[in-house]
Amino acid sequence: MPIGEWEDHLFPLKSGPAYLPRRLVAVGDRVFVTLGINAPISELDAATGKIVRSFPTTEQISEVIVSDNTLYLVVGRPEKTKKPYAPKHTYIWDEADWARS
């Protein structure tokens, strides 16, 4: 099964976001994986690699866990939800009020 884009613009910094390896889980004869960095979860047959089923609306997950035949997903991607912090002032005490709020 070909996998689409798997790395993002952060890859050169430190092998990309830490959550990428957490989006592939093998359980018995099944593999749960995103087939691209912005792709939904797919369930694959481990022997053939064929897609058994897909889970729509799961494009924004950061982790997949399977336990007792239940699929758990950590929803949300840090780079999609948090605004990057950029200090307004280089003098640290000018940022103290912002940090307390």
CATH number at residue 59: 2.40.10.480
In a domain, 52, yes or no: yes
- The range of the structural domain enclosing residue 76 comes to 11-100
Residue 4 lies in a domain: no
Note the pLDDT tens digit of each residue in 36-77: 878 899 999 999 999 999 998 888 888 899 999 899 998 876
CA angle 55, 38, 84 (to 5 degrees): 130
* Selection from 66, 6, 70 nearest residue 38 by Cα: 6
List, for residues 18-38, the tens digit of each pLDDT value: 667 778 899 999 999 988 878
pLDDT at 90 over 80: no
Instruction: Tally the domains of the chain.
Output: 1
In a domain, residue 15? The reply is yes
